[in-house]
Amino acid sequence: MEFQTIIEPFRIKTVEPIRQLNREERIEALRNAHYNLFRVKAEDILIDLLTDSGTGAMSSEQWAGVMRADESYAGARSFYRFRDAVRKITGFKHVLPTHQGRAAEHILFGAAVSAGQIVPNNTHFDTTRANIEAQSAEARDLPIAEALHPEVEHPFKGNLDVAALADTLESEGGNVPMVFVTVTNNSGGGQPVSMANIRAVSELCRHHGIPLFLDACRFAENSWFIKQREEGYGDKTPLEIAKEMFSYADGCTMSAKKDGLTNIGGFLALNDDDLAHDCRDQLILTEGFPTYGGLAGHDLEAVALGLFEALDEAYLRYRVRSVAYFGDKLMAAGIPIVRPPGGHAIYIDAKAMLPHIPPLEFPAWALSVVLYAEGGVRSVEIGSVMFGHQPDGSEKPAPMELVRLAFPRRVYTQSHVDYLCEVVAHVNDLRSRIRGLVIVEAPPTLRHFTAKLKPLGGALLAS
C-alpha cells in the first residue's frame, strides 16, 4: 500500500514559540515600520516567509557536528570534512569556504571579470548582478521566453535561452569571461533548469573556450525536479544527478544558507589552478585563512553534513511537495501565481490580482503589507519598489509585480500551510479594497530594505 500523504520526514525535538498579535497590534506594528516589512521585528511575525536563506532548522546530527568541530585556525579537521563533502558532490578541485554566497561571488568576479565585460546567466540573483556591476561589467539575463509569463506552464522554466547565448558568444565571445547558470532560477520564480539545458550550455561554452559556473544555492532542489520531470533520470539518486550537473561546469558559487541547510556559510569551488590561486589570495584578504574562510569550524561541520541531508530523497520529496501543496491550493482558489510552483517559494502575481493598482503605486508591496496586516505573514515584494528606481533617478515599472512567499527548510508544517492558504484566500476576497502606496523616503540603491512608505488615502484598505 502506498499512502498518499507526504508527511514531514522528521519529528520535532526543540520548539520555538511564535506569537499571534491581533489585527490592531499588527496595523500599529506596520505604522511603526513605515509600511516596510523589513522594518518589522521578527517577534511580531506569525509565519515568516521573507526568505529561505539561513532560516532553516538544523538536524540533531548537525548540532552534534557543531560539538565535534575543530576550531583550529589552520588545517582544522572540520575544513577537511567540509572540503571532502563539497568535492564529493561537485567534483571540483579547489574548495574555498566563504561566509555566504555573495562573498564567493565577490571574490570570483574580482579575480575574473573586468570592466566592460559581459556575464550571461539565465537570471542573475540581485547580489550576483550587483557584484558583476561593481566590476563595471554587464550582468546579462538570458531566460527562455516562457520565464516572463507567470501563467505559462513549463517543466523547466528556469532554462537559459541557448540560442540567445549562442548569439551572444558568436558576436561578443571575446568579451565574456564566464557564463553562469542559476539552479534553481530564484529571480525567475524558483524554477528548475533541465540537465539537457545545462549540457547544451556547457557544450556551447566549451566550443568557445569559456568557463561555465553554476550558482548552486538550490542545487539539491534542482536535482529533485530533474529526477521528477526529465526523461532518463527517474531511477537516479539526487546525488548522482547533482554530480552530473556539476560535471558540465568548471566551478560554482554556493550559499550554504539554502541547500547547505545551515544558518550561515558558502563556498567557491573551481578547477582552474591559476584562478583558484588568485581567488585564495583575495579570500585571505577579505574572508579569512583558506581553511576557514570567514566561518567557524562548527559552521564548516554543519555545512558538510547539511549538503548531504539536502540530497536525501525523503527530505526533497517533502520539501518540494509542501511548496507545491500550497501552490495547488492557491491555484484551486483562483489566485494567480507563477506556474508551476517553484522549489523554495510561491510567487503571487500581484499585477493579475490587483489590476486596479498601477505599477508605480506598488501593487505587490501593497499585497505583501496586507498579508501581514490580515494574517501576520511576512513575504517579500519583487516588483517596482525593488526594481523601479533607475540609475538616472527616474521610475520605471518592473517587468513583473510578484510577492514571494519563501519557505524556510524543515521549519513549518502542513497546518502552517493550511493557515497560509486561508490568509491568502481572505486577502483575495478583500482585493478590490486594497490601496496602493507612495514612497515617503528611500535611499537611491537597494531601497526596498529601508524605504519608508505610506498607503494612499491614509489606510491600507478602502472602506
Q: Where along the sequence are the contacts to ligand F0G (CB under 6 A)?
A: 51, 53, 100-102, 125, 127-128, 182, 186, 215, 217, 255, 257, 266
Closer CB to ligand F0G, residue 62 or residue 122? 122
Q: Is 452 helix (H, G, I), strand (E, B) or coil?
A: strand
Sheet with 345-349, side-by-side order of all strands: 345-349, 402-406, 380-382
Closer CB to ligand F0G, residue 59 or residue 187? 187
**DSSP readout, 42-93?**
GGG-SEE-S-SSS-SPPPHHHHHHHHH----SSS-HHHHHHHHHHHHHH--S
Closer CB to ligand F0G, residue 168 or residue 187? 187
Cα angle, residue 318 at apex, residues 3 and 60 outer, rounded to 5°: 115
Q: How far is the CB of 105 from ligand F0G (least distance, A)?
A: 7
Closer CB to ligand F0G, residue 249 or residue 434? 249
Closer CB to ligand F0G, residue 69 or residue 193? 193
Closer CB to ligand F0G, residue 36 or residue 127? 127
Q: How far is the CB of 34 from ligand F0G (least distance, A)?
A: 21
Q: Interhelix angle for 126-133 vs 101-112, to 10°?
A: 30
Question: 400, 437, 405, 401: which is closest to 424 by C-alpha?
Answer: 405
Q: Interhelix angle for 363-375 vs 23-32, to 10°?
A: 140
Q: How far is the CB of 107 from ligand F0G (least distance, A)?
A: 12
Rounded distance between C-alpha atoms, residue 241 and residue 82, angstroms: 20
Closer CB to ligand F0G, residue 268 or residue 434? 268
Q: How many other C-beta atoms can be found within 10 angstroms of the C-beta atom of residue 435?
A: 19
Question: 182, 213, 214: which is closest to 344 by C-alpha?
Answer: 182
Q: How far is the CB of 306 from ligand F0G (least distance, A)?
A: 14
Contact between 322 and 414 (Cβ < 8 Å): yes
Closer CB to ligand F0G, residue 131 or residue 322? 131
Q: Is 387 helix (H, G, I), strand (E, B) or coil?
A: helix
Q: How far is the CB of 363 from ligand F0G (least distance, A)?
A: 21
Closer CB to ligand F0G, residue 94 or residue 257? 257
Q: How far is the CB of 324 from ligand F0G (least distance, A)?
A: 19
Closer CB to ligand F0G, residue 138 or residue 460? 138
DSSP 408: P
Q: How far is the CB of 303 from ligand F0G (least distance, A)?
A: 12
**DSSP readout, 236-278?**
S-HHHHHHHHHHT-SEEEEETTTTT-SSS-EEEEES-HHHHHH
Q: How far is the CB of 462 from ligand F0G (least distance, A)?
A: 32
Rounded distance between C-alpha atoms, residue 346 and residue 260, angstroms: 21
Q: How far is the CB of 286 from ligand F0G (least distance, A)?
A: 14
Contact between 190 and 343 (Cβ < 8 Å): yes
The enclosing H or E element of 330 equals helix 313-332
CA 302 vs. chain centroid, Å, equals 20
Q: Which residue is nearest to ligand F0G (CB)?
A: 101
Contact between 118 and 172 (Cβ < 8 Å): yes
Q: How far is the CB of 102 from ligand F0G (least distance, A)?
A: 3
